[in-house]
């Protein structure tokens, strides 16, 4: 089973975080929502969220992917978190995936994970994507890094996460199941 760690902080953009959690769980991933600042949090649009675990209680970091959603001031809280930093390092070092959407690719950029990679973010945050190639796409997948442009790209971003973890067939089937074309 694929294990995914999704961070959430006060001020996180709810759609970016919860779409990821929902789509990955539908795909069969074991998703842990870790709250930076406690288990009881409030998103950027005053929606209350109860995380699965307080991020400070994370012990083993045996995850295949870490997801950092955007929103403000949520991205700032995640950027300042030592456990987020430690988790990104641990998962990256074992060859896992790092994913961020909206303003949150700045967390990856400031730590050097985007150097030489294709990446995207919410308009106005490009200066934080140190060393990245910025093609202007809604979603970029480059090696072990997946980035999304913002809330409007949350479903496509989430399906890209499914594709890298479970393959194109699973992502296509899930897309058909959730989008009534």
Name the residues annotated as catalytic.
Answer: 102
Please answer whether residues 32 and 5 qualify as being in contact, where contact means their C-beta atoms are separated by less than 8 angstroms: yes
* 3-class SS letters over 75-100: HHHHHCCHHHHHHHHHHHHCCCEEEE
* Cα-Cα-Cα-Cα dihedral sign, residues 120, 165, 174, 47: negative
In terms of Cβ atoms closer than 10 Å to its own Cβ (0-12, 13-18, 19+), residue 94 is exposed
CA 12, CA 9: separation in Å to the nearest integer? Answer: 5
3-class SS of residue 160: helix
The owner of tokens 């985007």 is: 114
Count of CA atoms in the C-beta half-sphere (13 A) of 159: 18
């Amino acid at each position: 089973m694929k294990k995914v760690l999704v961070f959430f902080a006060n001020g996180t953009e709810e759609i970016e975080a919860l779409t990821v959690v929902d789509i990955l769980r539908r795909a069969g991933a074991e998703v842990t929502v870790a709250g930076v600042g406690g288990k009881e949090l409030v998103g950027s649009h005053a929606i209350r969220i109860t995380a699965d675990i307080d991020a400070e209680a994370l012990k083993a970091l045996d995850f295949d992917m870490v997801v950092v959603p955007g929103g403000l001031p949520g991205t700032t809280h995640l950027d300042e978190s030592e456990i987020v930093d430690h988790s990104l390092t641990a998962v990256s070092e074992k060859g896992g995936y790092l994913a961020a959407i909206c303003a949150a690719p700045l967390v990856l950029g400031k730590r050097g994970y985007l150097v030489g990679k294709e990446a995207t973010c919410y308009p106005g945050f490009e200066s934080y994507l140190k060393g990245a190639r910025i093609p202007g796409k809604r979603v970029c997948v480059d090696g072990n890094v997946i980035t999304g442009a913002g809330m409007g790209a949350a479903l496509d971003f989430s399906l890209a996460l499914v594709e890298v973890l479970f393959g194109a067939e699973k992502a296509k089937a899930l897309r058909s199941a959730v989008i009534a074309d």
